[in-house]
Every structure is written in structure tokens, then in C-alpha cells.
Amino acid sequence: MAAAIGGFVFIIAFILMAPGPRAFLLSASVGLTAWLISFAPYSFVILGFVVVAPVASLILMKTWPAHVEPENPMAKYRRSPDDAD
């Protein structure tokens, strides 16, 4: 896991060094901020859903009860090899 995080930081550092991607990321963040402000009540509700939905699904998956296989009612009537007549 640490190697993946280190590799991710390494890639991000090289992306942010180049002026083209840096300008694109800056303009995208400015555009997103302007959109959030211009559609204030609705955009924050949408942003809340986008942030809360994955967290809620993770909590739901972690707390979901484990599936228990039902007992076969005919298992007690099955003949075993040592019960041969």
C-alpha cells in the first residue's frame, strides 16, 4: 500500500511540474468553484450526495450480516457408506 501511495505522489509531482496540466487543473478548479457558487443550494446537495453515498455504502457493506447457508433438512436421512446393510 505504501508503494502505491509513493508512486501516486511521484506521478502527481511530475504532473504538477508541467505548466500545461497545472493550468488545466487550476482552470478546472476555478470553474468548479464558480459552478458551486452560482447554483448554491442545489450544487451543495449534489456534492453532499457524491461525498456521502460512497461512505454510506462502505458502512453498509461493513455492517451487513454474513450469509448463513440454511441447513439441508434431508441431510439427516442421507445414508453414509458405513451404514451399508
Cell, residue 79: 445414508
Q: What is the pLDDT of residue 59?
A: 95
CA angle 15, 17, 18 (to 5 degrees): 75
CB 56 within 8 A of CB 48: no
Q: Which residue has the cell 511540474?
A: 17
CA angle 47, 49, 52 (to 5 degrees): 105
Mind listing the pLDDT tens digit of every residue in the chain (85 residues)?
Answer: 778 888 888 888 888 888 888 888 889 999 988 988 888 888 888 888 999 999 999 999 999 999 888 888 887 787 776 665 5
* DSSP character string of 19-70: HHHHHHHHHHHHHHHHHHHHTHHHHHHHHHHHHHHHHHHHHHHHHSPPP-PP
